[in-house]
Amino acid sequence: MKLELEREKIIKYGKKLVTSGLTKGTGGNLSIYNPERGLMTISPSGIDYFDIRLEDVVVMDLEGNVVEGRRKPSSEYAMHKIFYKKRDDIFSVVHCHSVYSTTISILREQIPASHYMIALAGKNIRCAEYATYGTKELAENAFAAMEDRYGVLLANHGLLTGADCIENAFNTAEELEYVAETYYRARSIGEPVILSDNEMKKMQKKFKTYGQARS
What DSSP letter does each residue of 145-189 carry, written as one string? HTTT-SEEEETTTEEEEEESSHHHHHHHHHHHHHHHHHHHHHHHH
Do residues 4 and 10 lie in contact, with contact meaning Cβ atoms separated by under 8 Å?
no
Among 20, 19, 18, 45, residue whose Cα is nearest residue 31 = 45
Catalytic residue, from 6, 8, 55, 76: name it: 76
Among 208, 196, 23, 36, residue whose Cα is nearest residue 116 = 196
For 22, list phi and psi in degrees, rounded to 5.
Answer: -85, -15
Displacement of CA 82 from its chain's centroid (Å): 13
Q: Is 140 a catalytic residue?
A: no
Q: Which residues are catalytic?
A: 76
